[in-house]
Amino acid sequence: MSQLLEATQAECQVLQRIESVLAEHEALSPYASDVDVSVYESTIVLEGTLPTAELQKQLIPSIRQAGVLWRIKNNVAVEATATKV
């Protein structure tokens, strides 16, 4: 979820656009609530966890397709999965 508390109007619009993109993305939508989106010093900061590296790699291109050209820092981690021995 985005951090709108101390954001400017432009930042709020960008955060809402990103939330919308994540919620509508075919692969990412089930995990949209697991990704926190905030703005820090004119940089979009993504945090949270996703189940696969492929989903993590889809974040920035998906946000770019929505027309968000701001700097993006992707801090989203891939969940560690237990392997069967």
CATH code for position 33:
3.30.70.1770
pTM of structure: 0.84
4, 65, 72 from 61: Cα distances, Å: 23, 6, 11
Tell me, yes or no, whether 17 lies in a domain. Answer: yes
**Helical ranges in the chain per DSSP H:** 9-24, 53-65
Number of domains into which the chain is organized: 1
9-56 pLDDT per residue, tens: 889 999 999 999 999 999 999 999 999 999 998 899 999 999 999 999
Tell me, yes or no, whether 43 lies in a domain. Answer: yes
- Domain span including residue 54: 9-78
Tell me, yes or no, whether 19 lies in a domain. Answer: yes
Whether 4 shows a pLDDT value over 80: the answer reads: no
Whether 59 shows a pLDDT value over 70: the answer reads: yes
69-85 pLDDT per residue, tens: 999 999 999 998 744 44
